[in-house]
Amino acid sequence: MCRFKIQNVNDDTIIEIISMNIDNENNILAVEETVPYILSISEFKDKILGTNSDNTGESKEATYKIIK
């Protein structure tokens, strides 16, 4: 089990990551405001790393940071 939290850099909301790779698609079990849900690995990467340039040449900055 790997428990850690990520925090939105704009509004300080927190998502707790309970477990990673919970199925064959490498999804993540997360909790936000006491509500558990499944977060896809690609959504997680977009939140933490941002996105690469798409066909329009635009990229997005990371919106979350890892906290203790």
Structural domain tally of the chain? 1
Could you tell me if 3 and 18 are in contact, meaning their C-beta atoms sit under 8 angstroms apart?
yes
CB count within 10 Å of CB 20 equals: 16
pLDDT value at position 53? 58
**Has residue 56 got a pLDDT over 70?**
no
Domain that holds residue 8: 4-49
User: pLDDT digits over 10-31, tens only?
Assistant: 999 999 999 999 999 999 999 9
**Has residue 1 got a pLDDT over 80?**
no
**Is residue 68 in some structural domain?**
no
CB count within 10 Å of CB 55 equals: 5
Query: What's the pTM value of the predicted model, to 2 decimals?
Result: 0.82
**Is residue 30 in some structural domain?**
yes
Residue 15: C-alpha distances to residues 11, 49, 52, 63 (Å): 12, 15, 23, 12
**Is residue 25 in some structural domain?**
yes
Residue with structure tokens 């199925």?
23
